Amino acid sequence: MTGFIGMDPEAVRTLARQLELKAGEIDTIASTLSSQIDGTTWLGRDADGFRSDWSGTYRTQLAAVSTALREASTRAANNAVQQEEASRA
């Protein structure tokens, strides 16, 4: 059987950095939107419901995605280290 088995550790490190970068972008987007929502002149029940949905559901979901990307980044980086250690053995 021919072919590549394993990984290119540097390529996986690049992936890990991109995952971390994108997590940060999501955090920035969520923060920017929160500021815009808080700064929007909008009163009443609909406004209250929208803000409640944003803070209780949507922003929470964005935070979960950001956390998942960071966890994937850490896992990818750790896998790159393990590959290098296995290759040295």
pLDDT along the chain (89 residues), means of 10: 74 98 98 97 97 97 98 97 85
Residue 1, pLDDT score: 46
What whole-number distance in Å separates Cα of residue 47 and Cα of residue 61? 20
pLDDT at 50: 98
Q: Output the pLDDT for position 2.
A: 57
Number of H helices, E strands in the chain: 3, 0
Task: Look up the pTM and report it.
Answer: 0.87
| CATH hierarchy code of domain 9-88 | 1.10.287.1060
pLDDT at 4: 61
